Structure 1
Amino acid sequence: MNDIHCLSNFIDYSPSIHEPLKHSNRIKYTCFDISENYIIFGATSGSLYLFNRRVCKFLHLIPNKHGSVTHLEISSGEKYVAFSTKKGTICVYVINLSANSAPQVIYAALGPEVQVTCIHWTLDEKQFYYGDNRGQVNLVVLNSFIGRSLLSLSVHPILFLEQPVVQIDDFESLLLVSNWSKCILCNTEFEEYKQIGNRLRDGPFGACFAMSTNESLTPSRIYCARPGSRLWEVDFEGEVLQTHQFKAALACPPSKIQKTTECETEAMFKYSDENSELLDFQPQTLTFTKLQMLSQDFLLTYTELGLYIFDVRTSTVVLWCNQFERIADCRVFGPDGEIVIFTQTGSMYSVSLLTLQSHAMSLVRSEKLLECSFLLKKNLKYFADKAREDYDLIILNHIKNFLIDQQQYELLNDLSVIFDSIAQNEGDTSSGSSAERKSANSGGVSQRPFEAVDQRAQGVYVLENSFCDNLRVKEKDRHFKDALLTVTGKFGKNIIKYKFNIFNDEQKSLVSDLIPRNERTLPFQHVKDNTDDDVVCRRKLPPSPPKGRHITDEEKIVYNLLLISRSSQISNTNFLERYRHLFDEYTSREIIGILAKLEAVMLEHGDTELQAKQNCYEMYFNYLNPELIWEVDDISKEFIIQGFIVLNANQDAVRCDNCGFPIRFDNSCLFHELGAVLMRYLWSRNEHGRCFEILKDVPALFDVLAKFYMAEGQVEKIIPIVMNYGQPDLLEEAGRGFNLHAWDRCFDKFVALQQGRLSCINCERITLVENVNRHFFYTWNCFLNISSEFLEAKEILALVYKYSNNIPNDAIDREFFTKCMLK
């Protein structure tokens, strides 16, 4: 049957967002946008008000002197906010919540007669489009330099239309522009433009892309609004495929928002039903100004008086709602399709689209049983039909028990048809044992001690005993049972059945309650391979040993380590305590042998050679005390060095043109402490060449080399390391030993770095590198603030003056000069 939907999870953000304006009656919000972490409002004062989305807490005020904000949009990665003002400017704010840096807003003046009508960012955040009241579409490119600390805008007109632009959308190289008279589909790669359809229109009509995740089932399309509550469905060649007409379908009652903050009464529902029967709803002729996809199935639009949600696959109205006054804008946000509404009064609300079934189940889980009872009564046929189809609705039996306890016999009688349907479905359900149905009747909570937690949708079964404190086994026995932590796919108990015969008697006693006695020797090759569709991931299981062959203790350890490794990959935890005691019983050479066998089993289990090596090395390094490097034998030491390189080899580093040594690289590092001990050991033995071999593959250890040079007083060798490593803490530590001459050299190297000329640490040759903008350290402000800690004011100002020709305008904040004057 077709689902019925409702608007639920109502949130009123208005009290929180108006908190910063409570002392001013003059300032009003004019527009907004929402992202994963932020809500940002534009105001009549020209300022932007930035809030934390998750708790709706005010964070930051961004002042702006270019006039009242008219439109704004946050970039996809939340680095920038583009906004326009009434004075005819397009601006970009760089989102930076640091208390030490002033808000950076860059702008381009368009002219007072130009009013921006819409803004749209591209996914890469390097550019955005805007349309204006003249019908012109422009591309704004962000040009960054000095580590993105400074930006500039360049505006490029790309399309000239005769009517104001209403909405802009893009997908890869396709750009969709909708204005008051038509829709234009542009291929920006080949600079081709095509008008969609031949019939013009007159009004603010929107258009959008509707991307599908299953092209064979629902192909991706373009939807364009048309007069008279119609939509064009268009393919990516710009051809109109069909027209969806919603005028007559909108002659239906509006949906009420399901607010569960207050207890609904039977009288309220009865009054609502009587009113709906008395009213005669007429067809609606509407202008859809902005179109947005709500999930991949529905399309959302709005007018000043209401929200409208359509199923474009069937040309039906999902629902419409008129409970928001004077809607100014609307956003669909997040994977769950949260709908955020902003009104002309500056208020903001949020709702979610749910099926009635989902809403009813959420009410039961929230113990709002009376509200759910009246919802069922209002939609008797829907829930009765659903209860015959869906076993999950057995959860509604909680309402039955509640009504009996509350002696609500009349309401219970009204809902009896639903409970009869549930009972009928329960009786007809052949899948699942009676114990499982009993568990479902008790709220879906299993009473069995080793039931899997609810991760079945991902095809992953985790034994609850591994995480539940009150079911945890004794400390000395924990590791055997926990070795069975994770089993993928539908093999949950089958793999344990297979492994039962490899455990010793003590171990068998720990898992005997998992496997019936008659199944404990079940050969693995006889286990049925369950290929249900809901199995998301399945790995190749360890091969069965020849029948009758004795399983050695070492093989048992390898199998245990394999399962622990799989557990750590799924839960992102190393589970060191589960295998530490195993490694404690062996020498380092013996552990290396065990890891070699584990790597072989991982290869059989579906891992690539690199993945297997990395998994084994990570297990060992999590266990290894770095200071033991000084005591292990040379073979073990070489094994550790090779493993460290495998885990941290930087393939993407920019290298010296002369010797191939890394000069620009990512300085993140796994097991950095272990690498530092390795370097100290080799350096102490004067194996400097070996150290540089490691550094060539793992440049993230350059900070360790810099500390060696600090101890030896080799300042000239420290400076290029500090510049290339890009870590302020390292410069601050090294700077304590620099004299004025050394700081002069630092300034010289820093200017060269800004110009893309990097010195090789190995051969000292210069290599030209483009776009040196990876670290926040590469700004003049950061560099000067650190150097000012170790230089007198006159000395640092003299150096600034010396290199002033190489310092861009506005690269240094006035706070720096104030600090120097006070100093």
Structure 2
Amino acid sequence: MTEKYTLIEHPSTLNSIIRNTFQSTHRIKFTAFDVSNKYVIFGVNSGGIYIFSRESCQFVKLIPSTHGPANLLSISPNEKNLAIAVSTGLVVVLEGFTETEFQQQIFTEHEDNHITAMTWNGNDLYCGDNTGRVSVVALRNFLTMFQTPVACLMHLDSQIVQLDTYSKFLLVSTQTRSLLCDTESEKYRQIGKKMRDGCFGACFLTAGNPHKNNDSNARTRGLFEISGDSEQLSAPSHDDKVKIYCARPGVRLWQADFEANVVVTHQFRPALGLSHSKVVQWDDSDRLKLKTLSPQTGEFNFGKIYNFLHRFVLTFRDDGFYIFEPSSSTLHWSAHTSVKDVKIVDSFLYVWHSDLEVSVLSLLSIEELVLRSLMRKKYKLCAEICLEFYDDVQSLIETSKKIHLISILETKLDDSEVLLKLEPIFTRLKDCAVTPTLERYKNGIVTVNALPVLPESVENFEKDTKKQENSILTEQFRVSRFNKNIETNDFTQLMKTLNSNELYDVLREFESQNESCADWCKEIFLKHLKIISEFKSEALDYAHQAFFSFNMNMNFICNCGFPLPQAHELRPKFYEIGTQLMEKTDNYEDYLKSVPYMYKNVLEKINDSQEIHSKLPLIIQFSDPEIIDTHSSKLTYDLWDESIRCLLKLKSGQCLNCGAKIDVRATFDWTDFATKIVDSIKANNALKLFKRYAHLLPKGGLKPVFYQYCIFSSASNTTSGIFRKTLDNENVCKQFETSVGGYLRKKYLCGSDLYDPPNRKSMLDLINCDHCQLPLKIPMLEETTKLTCGHNYHQTCLLYNKSQCPKCDPLL
């Protein structure tokens, strides 16, 4: 191994964001997760899909699902599509899953089986299940009428353990063998002759970025056939840089070529237990935090294996993860802790430990680690790293073009003991600076190289770094003037490397040279903040100023400080960042007065009924339906009585705090407010309250839909949400009015008693509507329909579902 690496453990706000997201729902359990450059996505036991931003660790969106919990997730390489393997065997593909309107495709090729492996290759999604079936879903065919978007490729003898792709090749690993498949010729061949029994994986190890098959020509797919011994599987170009590894029992890896021949067997048993693994805990501290991991003991075997940094093979089990280097048959790192899954993004590892815990680690070369700490001006940390990896730093002096920059430590450190230990490194750096180095090429030519003077090198390096950063920001600023949604690759990479304090320094430097970009710099700063808890005071002040500059609005606040009802409609930019900044300021009131919407953050955190009672006027005047929904379960009959009186006063144009005349647009609608009371304390109690205040309510304030809602909620214990959605449909509402009108005419004009039970119940009396779950035969909803599929509906419910059966068509 020519370049030495070390394992880095990074701090991450992801775990705290996860806990904050799920703290009120203790029954939520993660069932699957995946990570890409932009997103971290979790599947939960309720069937929902939770999407987080990888860089900012902010919650992005929730995609609900009615198909059941996911056991596998896979984000496509272009990060536009998400594949979900459901516990029932369905494959659900969400096209454009981050958009408001995304397309959902459902495939039943593996239904009633358990999908055990999924992988993308361009627009093709390969799936394998526990019965040995392998299929492919081609997204490019979704819009083509005459081609099948899914095809079964193989029926094998045992469960699929792992799938991997390279170019036109598909690598399939089952519990008994590994197979190399050519997807163009539709032929496959077994790798090696010996069978095995266990969950052993296989993968391609590429020397560079893996080449994915982007062939867009649609074609018909059929079952793969076994390739004969005399036939050749056509190899891709540059296949000498791509290796195939198959896990074997006995801590071994087979290395194979593209004719499925075993070339080398790598034995790793001697490497187990030889050395301890070191992990650097990377944060903003000035001191080196080093964690030593004990060597592996006990039984070990490979499971699924993955290509890591085009050099290493990573595997994991329940007790930890392991990083091997096949070229030297050595184990470099092993971390022994509970592991459920591991995902790789470039040099980063995302390790899922338990339901709500994810660790973020990465591999950095010793040179990168030393220089990164130096450029962050963490001189004590840089010195400690040099001492910890003393021999590696010494060896870098002859090969690295940048390691001589650490000579600046001589003038930056005041610890004489540390300087004494580093003296041999400084001496050698000075010797190399004045002694030409000889470099001999293969053709015999010898070049003489001399390093520049060290102090100038350090200064020049810092100047070049600032110049490069300014150049990147200038280019991005120009691009943003035309389209704020486009980021250059250099800008994206720069944002990844900077922490919040470094980002502040870089943007302030850029802003001082370009006054016209001040607003842009503030927006970029808020957009790319990472860990607010690590702010220095100057950066924190800048963040406050930036947030206010975008969101200050004094028009929606009363002179007494109470927010006007319109305040809840104007959500500020970077609201989530604002809530964190608000917690860190001593001037809490400034946020509430300058950005009245921030009252929402205060009202959401109310915990008990006593606090609700004291802040009830504030809740009513803020008039946010989401706040009422949040606390409706804690509101008693008396508190609802008080809230109606507050709303009456507010609608008369008075501030509920000082009584001043205020603009009361955007207050609660009486009908919507009344339905929330029904949800909280039932229809009969809600009607009692409104009967008491009927003389104060405006004529027509409670619309007919409120009374219909009361009838629905009284007739069934089913969740009221389904009634609200149904009655929101204008056609359905008219149908319901017709049904109720007919019922009332029969009962009161004709004198019949429709509530007298019949002597003998018919089948309709025993059957419920498949939409609202009310009995089919009830007086208010007499018109019913039985569809050809066998499901039964009230005519009103069927009209809501556009005369189609939602049970049979899950897309409705």
Normalization by structure 2: what TM-score?
0.50
Give the TM-score taking structure 1 as reference length. 0.49
